[in-house]
């Protein structure tokens, strides 16, 4: 047992210089990879690339390639070049195991490359994907970073974006919004429509072409009028929530000045839930 330990310690001492050199080499390449990434992000104009989304992605990709080269050289110094080549070429059992372990990483990387080539969005675009709506901030090898309207940062895997329907509101330039009001059955619908259109027209961000539309959406015990209007997302100087709120408030004020009241609605809920006897006594 002591002899085995001595042999192991002796082999470790023989390997120690190579191990130190390998670690230094890998740390050197780590330092270089960060410099390369920052250079690619800041000097994208040298490649005639103005979109920061692409330059950030190329910077992250460049860092990954430099790290792979550094790892391969470090393994060669340790005499493990076979393992390094196996990891790079995908040969051997270890590569298969790592392939399964990093399946999602590889999928997100390939998806990121597809997004760069297809260019469905740019930095600053307002998009909606996988029930997430917000502004594109950046994209790297794994995720696309989106800032929602309420200020939250959401990191969406690139593969999710590729595999989900994506709506880019900025490319189209406009987005339609709508809201509904409910009035009594005796209300003058022609007058109400005119008042709603006037209220919408007073909001500067609402587009004149296409013009807002107000339709009668329900004719029953109560009347429902529905307003449709369009906003230029890229040119809006205010938050969308503020613009929508002003549109609704303008219509409310116009109705109040004209003496038009909203419908008095009573919701009835039918349920089979048991009511405690104590509640009935009170």
Verify that 74 and 16 share a domain, yes or no.
yes
C-beta of residue 98 within 8 angstroms of C-beta of residue 78:
no
Looking at the fold, whether 95 and 24 belong to one and the same domain comes out as yes
Task: Say if residue 166 is in the same domain as residue 182.
Answer: no
Per the CB < 8 A criterion, the answer to whether 201 and 254 are in contact is no
CATH number of residue 181's parent domain = 3.30.70.100
Would you say residue 53 lies in a domain? yes
- Do 81 and 150 lie in a common domain? no
Dist CA 202 CA 191 (whole Å): 17
The structure's pTM equals 0.52
One domain for residues 35 and 126: no
Q: How far apart are the C-alpha atoms of 160 and 129, rounded to whole Å? A: 9
Same-domain status, 96 and 139: no
pLDDT of residue 272: 47
Distances (CA, A) of 14 to 8, 11, 175: 10, 5, 69
Inter-residue contact 77 to 18 (CB < 8 Å): yes
Do residues 183 and 166 share a domain? no
- Does residue 130 lie within any of the structural domains? yes
Quote the pLDDT of residue 170.
Answer: 79
Residue 115 forms part of a structural domain:
no
| CATH for 132 | 2.30.30.60
* Residue 9, CB-side half-sphere exposure with 13 Å CA sphere: 6
Model pLDDT, residue 34: 82
Domain with 161, as residue range(s), is: 120-170
Rounded CA gap, 109 and 277, in Å? 62
Q: Please state the domain count of the chain.
A: 3
Q: Do residues 89 and 7 share a domain?
A: yes
Evaluate whether 32 touches 69 at the Cβ level (below 8 Å).
Answer: no
Q: Are residues 222 and 235 in the same domain?
A: yes
Q: What is the mean pLDDT of each run of 10 residues along the chain (282 residues)?
A: 61 70 84 80 60 72 82 77 52 46 70 82 86 87 87 91 88 83 86 93 90 87 89 76 90 90 54 46 48
Q: Has residue 264 been placed in a domain?
A: no
Residue 255: enclosing H or E segment and its boundaries?
A: helix 240-257
**Residue 124 and residue 87 in one domain:** no
| Residue 106 belongs to a domain | no
Q: Looking at the structure, do residues 151 and 208 belong to the same domain, yes or no?
A: no
| Same domain, yes or no: 147 and 70 | no
CA–CA separation, 160 and 143 (whole Å): 9
Q: CA 158 to CA 166: how far, in whole Å?
A: 12
pLDDT for the residue 83: 52
Is residue 107 in some structural domain? Answer: no
Q: How much is the pLDDT for 184? A: 82
Report the distance separating Cα 269 and Cα 279, nearest Å: 18
């Amino acid at each position: 047992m002591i002899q085995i330990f001595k042999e192991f310690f002796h082999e470790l001492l023989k390997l120690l210089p190579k191990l130190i050199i390998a670690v230094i080499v890998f740390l050197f390449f780590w330092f270089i990879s960060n410099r390369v990434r920052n250079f690619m992000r800041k000097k994208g104009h040298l490649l005639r690339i103005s979109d920061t989304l692409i330059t950030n992605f190329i910077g992250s990709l460049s860092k990954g390639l430099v790290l792979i080269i550094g790892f391969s050289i470090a393994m060669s110094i340790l005499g493990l070049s076979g393992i390094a080549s196996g990891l790079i070429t995908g040969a051997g059992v270890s590569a298969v195991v790592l392939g399964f372990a990093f399946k999602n990483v590889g999928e997100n990387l390939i998806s990121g490359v597809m997004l760069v080539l297809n260019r469905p969005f740019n930095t600053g675009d307002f998009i909606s994907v996988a029930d997430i709506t917000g502004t594109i901030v950046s994209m790297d090898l794994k995720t696309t970073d989106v800032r929602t309207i309420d200020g939250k940062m959401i990191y969406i895997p690139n593969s999710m974006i590729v595999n989900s329907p994506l709506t880019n509101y900025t490319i189209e330039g406009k987005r339609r919004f709508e809201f509904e009001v409910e009035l009594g059955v005796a209300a003058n619908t022609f007058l109400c429509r005119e008042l709603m259109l006037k209220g919408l027209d007073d909001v500067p961000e609402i587009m004149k072409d296409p013009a807002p539309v107000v339709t009668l959406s329900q004719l029953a015990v109560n009347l429902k009028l529905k307003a449709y209007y369009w906003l230029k997302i890229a040119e809006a100087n205010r938050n969308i929530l503020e613009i929508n709120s002003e549109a609704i408030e303008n219509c409310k004020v116009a109705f109040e000045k004209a003496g038009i009241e909203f419908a008095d609605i009573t919701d009835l809920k039918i349920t089979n839930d048991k009511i405690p006897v104590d509640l009935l006594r009170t």
